[in-house]
Every structure is written in structure tokens, then in C-alpha cells.
Amino acid sequence: MADFRPFRGFLPRADDAKNIVSRPFDTYTKEELLITLKKFPHSFLHVIMPYLPDQVKEISYHDRLVLGKAQFKKLCNEGAFIQEDHPCYFLYRQTHLHEQYIGIIGAISIDDCLKGIVKPHEQTIEDKEVRLKNYLEVVDINAEPVVMSYKADHTINEFVERKILEKPDIDFHFPGFGHHEIWKINDGIDVEFLHQAFMQLNEIYIADGHHRTASSVLLGEEKRKQLPNYSGDEPFNYFMAILFPHHQIRLREFNRLVHDLNGLSSIEFLHRLKKDFFVEEYSEMPDISAHSACFALYMEHTWYMLQMKPEIYMRVEEKDALPTQMLTDYILSPILEIHDLRKDKRIAFIGGKTNAQILQQKVDSGEFKAAFVVNKITIPQFKRFADNGWFMPPKSTYFEPKLLNGLVIYSLER
């Protein structure tokens, strides 16, 4: 049974929400950061970056976190964020590029992760887990929910369909991220209904946020050791998550770009590929959707289709039959000698619906030598890997929707 609870969340002030929430930090240029920090005094960016960018070398990481925590308290004192009086769930809808996503935000128990009710599909990096755990320990908030998915439940679906007919509590448009609406679910009967409904779930899948999940579990276990008589209701026993039924999330491609061909000429590289693949030249990006062991390659102003030979594909085990894994096992590692996708600086990734023009521009500019297009992972594949405890290569799944920072805040303070 899943333990997914309501909590006393902080919400941005409704009449200024669009100027308070922020995009993911890594999507801002330095110039955009400076403009936003100066123009919007209540932007959540002041929590993420409580100093001007050119001061970064003068402030230690720990001191930055302390300042960030102080900035959040300042924003709350000034009314930019307002905490709910009672525990709530938060119904969230994002409408972007003709797609609509509806999920429910609450607090998920770390015990659900330890018991295997919450299932991962990607490995995490220990150093990043620890760094995020340290971040949580100082700043004491979750500002972006971990995205999770579950098998649709008709009673929850019917509740959601009724609720979205009401006027949302928060309603705004954010450039590049579409339209955002939040409904507070604070009626006692509704809250209890959802709590009981989610308790019936025995399988919840992490879509986006493996490191944030791992760091929250790490923090919770550490706090439990420090407080052996903990009750289980302390905030550190939970972390913020948004649960979407499977049909409400989208899986997109995670394509690869490489800076060099490992000393090979393009002719030599194509020759090496022909050992395991049929190679066919195209004037534009080929359609590779017919077979998971099929890739598109762009280099030197030319597109190629790479179709794995049947006798090779027959030897691929099920757990290695993901497009991203086959690309690694048969091209990136043996030919280009890119073995560790987490650390190798010779490879880069572009997630989202494939844009052939952007890939071509990045290669034609000379920034990269070649681009590889892979087929997206399907929801059944994603579930099968999580259910079997298998792990995908890094940057295999690109889930949508992508969320803003500061839409809802979960406090870890007691």
C-alpha cells in the first residue's frame, strides 16, 4: 500500500505566480539570470541563486545554501509564498503545445521506496545523491516534485474530472512552459478519499527525479538514526511527488551527439558500422520508427539509416534490447570508445521530440562531429525495466511534462 499524504504546502501568491515561479536553473543563460534577479524581487531564482552570478567564486557552497534558505524565509515574510493552514493535495494541470498533463501533488513516504513500492529504472550516482542530501539538509524544502506514474484508477480519474470543472486557485501562463493551473484539495472528505484511493496502489514508477528520490531517502534514513524514537510523521520521512496516471505522461527521445569519431575518418567509421548494421544514405532524416534496433546518423551534411542485421539482433538479450543500450553496446563503446556515458565529455544529449534541424545545426557548426537519433522508450518497456529491477543507460528516458520550480513547496522543517 502506498503512503501518499497531503501536506501544508507553500503556494506562490496567486496574482503574481508567473513572476514568482522559475524555470529549471540550467535553462537560464547568465544574462537571463541577471535580468530575472533584478526585475523580479520575488522570483524563486533568489532562493536558487541568492547572489549575483559574478559573485559565485566568493561564496562557499554551504554558505550559498544558508543564504538560499534565508531568501525563502524572506519571500514568505513578504507574502510571495503562503503556507496552507491545513494539509492539502494539489491538483495540477499543464497545457503545452496541444498536450495536456494532469497530476496530483502530495508527499510520498521514503518507506515506499525502501519497500519497492516506488520503483526506479535508472541508476544514480552516489556523489550526486550525497550532494543533494546535503542541499536538503540545509535548505529544508522540496521546490520541485519528483514525477511519478501509476496505473490509472477510475475512481481517482472521476474525482479529477469533477475537480477541474471548478475554478483553479492558481492560473497563469509561463513562456515556453505553457499554461499552469492548481486546485487546492483541502476539504476533509476529499482529502481522505484521495488518501485511501492512493493506499490501494502497490506499484508507483519514478519517471523523473531518481537522484532527488535517492537523496530524500538518504536524508530520511540519516535523520532516523539521529532520532531513534521518531514517530514516522516527521517531514523527513516524506518528500514531494506528483503522481500522473500512465496515460498522462509522455516519453520522448534522448538523442546523442559526439564531439569526435575516435580518430576515424567518416569513411572508416561507416566501414566499421557495416559489420553489424545495414547502412543506407538519405537526403533527410530517415524514419526509424519501424524497428527499435534502427538508428539515424547525421555527419558531414548527410543522413544515414543504420539497421541492425537480423543475426546480430537475435543475440541481444531482452534487458539489453533498449535502443539506447544497443547504441552504446554496438557503436558508442566498441567503435568510439565512449564507455561511461555519465562521465565522458565527448558525448552530449538532447532530450525531447526529435528536431532534425537542431541536430544538423549542431553538427554543421563544427561543435559536434555526428548526431545519433534513437527510438523513444515505450511505457511498457519503462514499466518492464522497473518491475524487473533492470537499469537503463543514462539519459534513456525524457519525460514530459517538465515542471517549474516553486509551484508548490514542501517544507522539511519540523
Q: CATH number, domain at 308?
A: 3.30.1760
What's the total number of domains in the chain? 2
Distance separating alpha carbons of residues 47 and 74, to the nearest angstrom:
10
* C-alpha–C-alpha distance, residues 215 and 129, integer Å: 5
DSSP E strand boundaries for 14-152: 81-83, 89-96, 99-109, 118-119, 141-142, 146-150
Sheet holding 294-299: strands in order across?
Answer: 277-282, 302-308, 294-299, 370-373, 254-258, 347-351
**Same domain membership, residue 71 and residue 190:** yes
* 177 Cβ contact list (under 8 Å, min separation 6): 23, 94, 96, 402, 404
Q: Please list, in sequence order, all residues whose beta carbon lies within 8 angstroms of the beta carbon of residue 17, skipping any fewer than 6 positions away.
A: 11, 170, 172, 180
pLDDT given at position 128: 86
CB of 117 within 8 A of CB of 204?
Answer: yes
Give the pLDDT of residue 306: 98
d(CA 203, CA 238): 17
The packing angle between helices 210-226 and 126-139, to 10°, is 60
Q: Are residues 224 and 300 in the same domain?
A: no
Q: Is position 393 within any domain?
A: no
Residue 29 maps to a domain: yes
97 lies in the same domain as 201: yes
Q: What pTM value is reported for the model?
A: 0.88
- Structural domain includes residue 389: no
Helix (H) or strand (E) holding 285: none
At residue 246, the pLDDT reads: 92
Separation of CA 19 from chain center: 22
Q: Do 121 and 162 sit in the same domain of this protein?
A: yes
Q: Which amino acid belongs to residue 277?
A: F
Q: Tell me whether residue 395 is in a domain.
A: no
Could you tell me the three cell numbers for 188?
476533509
**Per-residue model confidence (pLDDT) at position 371:** 98
307 and 224 in a common domain: no
Answer yes or no: is 384 within a domain: no
- Under 8 Å between Cβ of 110 and 118: no
In a domain, 380, yes or no: no
Per-residue pLDDT of the chain (414 residues; tens, 9 = 90+): 999 999 999 999 999 999 999 998 888 888 898 899 999 999 999 999 887 656 556 778 888 899 999 999 999 999 999 999 999 999 999 999 889 999 999 999 999 999 999 999 988 878 889 999 999 999 999 999 999 999 999 999 999 999 999 999 999 999 989 999 999 999 999 999 999 999 999 999 999 999 999 999 999 999 999 999 999 999 999 999 999 999 999 999 999 999 999 999 999 999 999 999 999 999 999 999 988 899 999 999 999 999 999 999 999 998 899 999 999 999 999 999 999 887 899 999 999 889 999 999 999 999 999 999 999 988 888 889 899 989 888 888 889 999 999 999 999 987
Give the model's pLDDT for residue 255: 96
- Are 233 and 262 within one domain? no
Instruction: For residues 246 and 259, state if they share a domain.
Output: no
CA gap 70, 51 in Å, rounded: 12
The reply to whether 140 and 281 lie within a common domain is no
pLDDT at 394: 84
pLDDT value of position 151: 93
CATH number at residue 209: 3.90.1530.10
The answer on 309 and 216 residing in a single domain is no
What pLDDT was estimated at residue 61? Answer: 83
In this structure, are 237 and 312 located in the same domain?
A: no
> Do both 238 and 287 map to the same domain?
no
Cell 528520490 belongs to 213
- Domain range for 325 is 254-375
Rounded Cα–Cα distance for residues 58 and 241 (Å)? 34
Residues 208 and 236 in one domain: yes
In a domain, 142, yes or no: yes
- Alpha carbons 71 and 83: distance in angstroms, whole number: 16
Residue 221 lies in a domain: yes
Taking CA 203 as the corner, what is the angle to CA 198 and CA 204, rounded to the nearest 5 degrees?
75
What 8-state DSSP symbol labels residue 22?
Answer: B
